[in-house]
A and B are shown apart, each in its own frame.
Chain A
Amino acid sequence: DTAVSQTPKYLVTQMGNDKSIKCEQNLGHDTMYWYKQDSKKFLKIMFSYNNKELIINETVPNRFSPKSPDKAHLNLHINSLELGDSAVYFCASSQDASGGAYSYEQYFGPGTRLTVT
């Protein structure tokens, strides 16, 4: 069984379009994350949700809007895509972030490779 899954795995789109990436975890975790990994493989956190509530919002353009319909799902919607948005986007999950996340490892999904042309 896949623990953290993302769809789609690949996404090729043109500048100015709007697209969404979906993430689901079946680990029963409370906290989910979105990361962006650039071409140099640098992995940086974008957002974190705990029980559907946004708890971390790094300096990310407003064109990126996460949505968590329930604690097992965290989707990422991106408006007006730009060339610089091309990257691999990873979803991750862990147990309780607000209570003591530093005791728990994060489990990563397989990534979504977004290419903006």
Chain B
Amino acid sequence: EDKVVQSPLSLVVHEGDTVTLNCSYEVTNFRSLLWYKQEKKAPTFLFMLTSSGIEKKSGRLSSILDKKELFSILNITATQTGDSAIYLCAVYIRLGSNYKLTFGKGTLLTVNP
């Protein structure tokens, strides 16, 4: 069975800290890995990773994929209270001629002032 496992499940930090969120996967037909941020409502897209070793960066957030060891990390530097959210990792898996997105259970990040 395809699995996407995120760790930790929850994390509490202080403003200014740097955090690393982990996502490992065991899937049969990996195509790409995505990170989403979910605050109160809809998940919003952060990154898509398809190749190993190429870091994607957006402001204080960055992410990298290791297809050999089957994991990805999401780094957030100089955290702010606005970074408090659930961070979701998802993997596109091939299903016949189609593709489906399988999500991990998320990491709940709380950034305290």
Contact residues in A for B106 (Cβ distance below 8 Å): 41-43
Bin the interface of chain A by size: 20 to 34
Is the C-beta of A7 less than 8 angstroms from some C-beta in chain B?
no
Which one of A55, A105, A110 has the greatest number of beta carbons of chain B within 10 Å? A105
CB interface residues, B 3-57, toward A, < 8 Å:
31-32, 34, 38, 41-45, 48, 50
In the complex, the answer to whether B41 meets A111 with C-beta atoms within 8 Å is yes
**Which applies to chain B's interface (DSSP): helix, strand, loop or mixed?**
strand
Q: How far is the CA of A55 from the CA of B99 in the complex (A)?
A: 9
Task: Tell whether A107 pairs with B100 under 8 Å between CB atoms, given A41-B86, A43-B88.
Answer: no
Q: Which residues of A come within 8 Å of B, CB atoms?
A: 4, 33, 40-45, 48, 50, 55-56, 58, 90, 97-98, 100-103, 105-111
Which 3 residue pairs spanning A and B have beta carbons closest together?
Answer: A102-B31, A102-B92, A108-B42
